[in-house]
A and B are shown apart, each in its own frame.
Chain A
Amino acid sequence: MYELVEAIIYYVGIVMVILGGILDLIASIGMNRFKNFYLRLHAATIGSIGGGFYPLIGIGLVVLTIHSLGTMKYYVAGIAFTTAFFLLITAPTGSHALAQGAHRAKIVLPEPAVVNRLLEDEEKVEGGE
């Protein structure tokens, strides 16, 4: 039973690493093909979460099943999980700050856009002050 659980953890980790590679490829294609700053930012976040967070979790899971490392495997897995956690909370924040800064400074406007409520709100706030 224990060996079965271990094998499942191992293969889940391997699948996550491979999935991370595929998502990185998709993100790089998106960076090249998307036409707009905001769309490219979306592709970049796929690269940092899909290509950074998933493989780190996968490596952490795989390492936990390798017994020849001794107690060293807990260090590797702990560092992998901690890094994955910080990547998970900081990467979306970074892209959010980039998008917000670009929008507020009116350097790039989202187009084609049917409706832009954020711009309307910002103009309302600026007009009110």
Chain B
Amino acid sequence: MAEKTGSLRDISLAVLASLIIILFAIALVNTMTISIPPQEQHRWLSWEFLTSTYNWAVKKTWAASPEVVTSVLWDYRGLDTVYETSVFFLAIIGGLMLVRNYHPGKKYSEKGMSLIARTITKITVVSVPVVAASVALHGHLTPGGGFQGGSIFAVASLLAIVALGSGFLLNRGWSKSRLLGFRTLGLIIIASVALTLPVIGLLDGVKAYVIQNQYKPWAPVSFGYTANIPFLGIILYSGTLVFLNLAEFLAVSAGLSLAFLIISLPREELKKSGGIE
């Protein structure tokens, strides 16, 4: 098996390949795109967001959150993210269309991997949702957010499906309609948070925007940004951001778990239902 290595042809090919890669990299950086800015400086756009999202002095353009990415996603361009969430919802619906004739039976096999893999998976599966909830709940303070937390949560259900058998979740009531219900509940919460302030503005006769977060001088309605909770003291919740992150977490974790469950359905039963060839 062991070939004689290090012939002249191999070495020259390797040198040629690395030369081509280096030349392309230099050409890409220097001529084809704008050059890489020095790391000490910001471009004007990033400077704009960095100095306005958590600026307590200028409250008319702030988002009350030290996390710039979440502020941009759910406040400055919040409507765009709402549309993204609905696109994801439609993608899940499209996945469900493939198995629309399939009606789940009574029992599924819980035969997964070996005893070693099952035991370790049972330890890991309970600790992954903790990380997911932490990422989602701190979405307005540290990097992360609803989508990221939901994706991490879906890893737990994927682990359970692969190592413990698809019956582990299906026999415990993770049915198609229930997961879709949680998905829809998340979307309803997002929609109601987005529409609360316009409705209040309409009733009060003042101007208010859809998915508005903080107080503006020309649109004097707000979700507030700090709350005084007993035993915890004053905490920063950044207006709509924490509610939207939680709703997105619910929606994404249910949606991705549903997608993985659909993928893991046994082929014979799908054939029996007549949905697929």
Contact = CB atoms under 8 A, between A and B. Distances in A.
A100 B118 CA distance: 13
A89 B120 CA distance: 7
A90 B114 contact: no
A100 B114 contact: yes
Question: Range of interface residues on chain B?
Answer: 10 to 19
Contacts of A97: 113-114, 117, 163
Contacts of B120: 89-90, 93
B232 interface: no
A89 B116 CA distance: 10
Interface in B113-138: 113-114, 116-117, 120-121, 123-124, 127
A58 B114 CA distance: 32
Given A86-B124, A90-B120, A93-B120, A35 B114 contact: no
A93 B163 CA distance: 11
Question: Range of interface residues on chain A?
Answer: under 10
Contacts of B116: 93, 96
A100 B114 CA distance: 8
B267 to A, nearest CB: 17
Interface of B: 1-2, 113-114, 116-117, 120-121, 123-124, 127, 163
Interface of A: 35, 86, 89-90, 93, 96-97, 100
5 contacts: A35-B2, A89-B120, A93-B116, A96-B116, A100-B117
Give 10 closest A-B pairs by Cβ, nearest first. Answer: A93-B120, A97-B117, A89-B120, A96-B116, A93-B117, A35-B1, A97-B113, A100-B114, A93-B116, A90-B120
